[in-house]
Structure 1
Amino acid sequence: MQSFAVNSDKTAFIITGMHRSGTSLTAAILQSAGVDVGERLLGANESNAKGHFENIDFFEFHKTVLRSQGIDDAGWTLTETVEVEQQYIDQAKELIAINSKSPYWGWKDPRTTLFLNFWADLLPEAKFILVYRSPWEVVDSLYRRGGENDTIFFSHPDLAVKLWIHYNQKILNFYDRFPDRCILTSVYSIANQLEKNIEAINHKFQVTLANPAPDIFERSLLRVQEANVHRATLVAYYFPEALNIYQELNAKAIQIDQEHQLETIQKVRNSPYKVWAFQDWVDLCKSEKQGKRLQSELERRSHAQLLQTQAELGQSQTQLAQTQAELERSQVQTQAELGQTQAQLAQTQAELERSQAQLAQTQAELGQTHAQLAQTQAQLAQTQVERQQAEATIAAMHTSKFWKLRTAWFTLKKRMGVATHK
């Protein structure tokens, strides 16, 4: 398959390993250290409280290719090689182009383990972070998770160990083929030596990742079965190749924290199998007994809570009856006040109607007065006109010859009268 050219100034980190092996924790740490693991990531759920840190683009891509070959898209397969048809090769190149935006980028998906050679050929400069965990703890985690994709283990419980062998053998084979492009590390090493793992990556790949946030890892989320050595013995007895692969992984992994693995393997080899073979039987009986005690305690507490609830219910009913009585009294009082208010309203309405009638009458009288006033004003105007005409007539008479003669005659008569009296 022809390789796909990516900008030389960008480094791709591909994080993978068997399911439940700590790949989510590893991806979270690398993201905190500066690796862009994608914008669209699978969210948290009951089995991964902190989130999966899986880029949905590559997650869906792997599932689609698996389905195209008639393989369970959860990755539960022992098939040696998964064929990738040309249409999916073109799709993979598109995903690379879309997601390779940052100087340090990559993705995490356990299914990538089934496609290691495919991605190594397509991205010849990519770096691989290969994570592993003991087979007994992976099996225990798969059983406890019990998700929709895990129901197959209820009918085929040994398949979990076989898948661990299949996935981790692929990791070993790939690491042997490309040791310079790989970091092989355990989840225990990552959990206990965060900064040293980043230093190892920086040194080997000549990159400059930052130290991850100190609170990125919550230790309580990593369940370690140090006390249940009998289960490890059971795996080693029936699947010795699993123990051999686990030892080979430990031998080839970066030497940061091997104490946990070596101690557990030593206990497995020294454990008397015939004794520990019955341990699950004993544990089951203990669990049943403890379950009965818990159920009895739960029933006792439930009964006490029921009595308390009944007492509270009785008190609530009394309070409810009291409230109802108060409500009824309030309703009677409210109805009386409402009747009084309605009577007052009726009286007010009657007074309003009378006021409106008086107002209408006043308006009518006002209109009549306005008409009379207009008539008076008209008569006054006519009188003024007549007076002006009379004044004009008198003025004209004063200036006439007749008036002048009349005035002279009256003056002469007045004088003659005065002379006679003398």
Structure 2
Amino acid sequence: MKVIAILGMHRSGTSCLTGMLENAGLHLGAVSRRNPYNKKGNNEHPRIMALHEAVLATNQGSWKVPPRGGCCWDGEHLMELRGLLEEHSHLETWGFKDPRTLFTLEGWLEVVPEIQFIGSFRHPAAVARSLVARGGGPLSQHLELWWLYNRRLIHFQDRFGFDLVCFDDSPEVYVERVVEAARNLGLNPTRSALTFFDRGLRTHRGREDLPLPGHVENVYQELLSRSLPCWDSSASR
């Protein structure tokens, strides 16, 4: 069984990307199809999400306060992961998406060393505003969280060399980029078959009226440089 993990920060287009990859032939299993904060559901497997939360908690973290590095997995959590994989072992290709994976990937690499990846990112201001609309809190706090997640995304992209797609791309370019990335994963997409994408999924945008801290801006620019073609960065703010 080929296993594909969709990596990216919360509110960064990972749900959309996962739905499009499902259109291209990726099996997801029993994922969430309805969610108050996602028009078409977040496409997350509840057992994977719960497992990752448990691993984070064991490492004195959570999705809101992730550890600065990766997480150590204990035997019980690794056993749960092996059970999840066994449940999907009848599939030729299976994938999952959970933003927490950026901090819990160590267990997956131990059990599935040949796992493949694709990543998604979005402008920091758009993510921060989306998180404020979802749960409140200061924008500065969410920008810092964006930096922690996307710094890890760059770390793993350096290590494994997978494709990154930019959720700020124009719809036409975005769909073409996903088609290219899906083919690189061994899927068989066609542009007309990727029906999951909906312009209405983008409910927040970056804005020039929110200056980014230097370290956040640097990571965003680095992501843009790794995912081309992308909108001009000044147009996506």
TM-score (norm 2): 0.89
* Structure 1 segment 122-133 matched on structure 2, within 5 A: 122-133=111-122
* Structure 1 segment 116-265 matched on structure 2, within 5 A: 116-146=105-135, 153-154=136-137, 157-179=139-161, 182-189=162-169, 191-192=171-172, 193-202=174-183, 204-205=184-185, 207-211=186-190, 213-225=193-205, 228-231=207-210, 233=211, 236=212, 239-253=213-227, 255-256=228-229, 258-264=230-236
Alpha-carbon distance in 2 for matches of 1:56, 1:13: 17
Contact 1:75 1:111 survives alignment (8 Å): no
1:241 CA drift (Å): 0.5
Q: Measured at CA, do residues 125 and 190 of structure 1 come closer, stay the same or move farther in structure 2, by a change above 3 Å?
A: farther
1:105 CA drift (Å): 0.8
1:101 CA drift (Å): 2.5
Superposed CA RMSD in Å reads 2.1
- For each residue in 1:227-264, what CA deviation from the matched residue of structure 2 results, as whole angstroms up to 9, or x when unmatched? x3111x2xx2xx210000000011112x23x1243534
Question: Structure 2 stretches of 5 or more lacking a match?
Answer: none
Secondary structure of the structure 2 residue equivalent to 1:229 = coil
Instruction: Tell whether 2:18 aligns with 1:14.
Output: no
* Structure 1 segment 313-328 matched on structure 2, within 5 A: none
1:76 CA drift (Å): 3.1
Alpha-carbon distance in 2 for matches of 1:191, 1:113: 26
Alpha-carbon distance in 2 for matches of 1:208, 1:113: 23
Q: Measured at CA, do residues 75 and 62 of structure 1 come closer, stay the same or move farther in structure 2, by a change above 3 Å?
A: farther
Secondary structure of the structure 2 residue equivalent to 1:95 = helix
Q: 1:56 aligns with which of 28, 46, 51?
A: 46
TM-score (norm 1): 0.52
1:59 CA drift (Å): 1.2
Alpha-carbon distance in 2 for matches of 1:216, 1:31: 9
- For each residue in 1:377-402, what CA deviation from the matched residue of structure 2 results, as whole angstroms up to 9, or x when unmatched? xxxxxxxxxxxxxxxxxxxxxxxxxx
Secondary structure of the structure 2 residue equivalent to 1:188 = coil
- The size of the alignment, in residue pairs, is 235
* Structure 1 segment 286-305 matched on structure 2, within 5 A: none
**Match for residue 377 of structure 1?**
none
Secondary structure of the structure 1 residue equivalent to 2:100 = helix
Q: Which structure is richer in relative contact order (CA contacts within 8 A, separation 6 or more)?
A: 2
- For each residue in 1:257-315, what CA deviation from the matched residue of structure 2 results, as whole angstroms up to 9, or x when unmatched? x12435346xxxxxxxxxxxxxxxxxxxxxxxxxxxxxxxxxxxxxxxxxxxxxxxxxx
Alpha-carbon distance in 1 for matches of 2:90, 2:98: 19
1:170 CA drift (Å): 0.5
* Structure 1 segment 33-52 matched on structure 2, within 5 A: 33-38=24-29, 40-52=30-42
Contact 2:13 2:121 survives alignment (8 Å): yes
Q: Which moved more, 1:55-64 or 1:79-88?
A: 79-88
- For each residue in 1:158-217, what CA deviation from the matched residue of structure 2 results, as whole angstroms up to 9, or x when unmatched? 2211111110000101111111xx221211348433244223331x34x14232635322
Alpha-carbon distance in 1 for matches of 2:77, 2:94: 21
Contact 2:6 2:96 survives alignment (8 Å): yes
Q: Measured at CA, do residues 225 and 56 of structure 1 come closer, stay the same or move farther in structure 2, by a change above 3 Å?
A: closer
Alpha-carbon distance in 1 for matches of 2:4, 2:226: 20
1:125 CA drift (Å): 1.6
Q: Is the radius of gyration larger for structure 1 or structure 2?
A: 1
Alpha-carbon distance in 2 for matches of 1:171, 1:13: 15
Alpha-carbon distance in 2 for matches of 1:175, 1:32: 24
- For each residue in 1:30-68, what CA deviation from the matched residue of structure 2 results, as whole angstroms up to 9, or x when unmatched? 111110111x22242331121111112211111121223
**Match for residue 392 of structure 1?**
none
Equivalent AA in structure 1 for residue 189 of structure 2: A
Higher helix residue share: 1
Question: Structure 1 stretches of 5 or more lacking a match?
Answer: 1-9, 147-152, 266-422
**Match for residue 66 of structure 2?**
77
1:19 CA drift (Å): 0.5
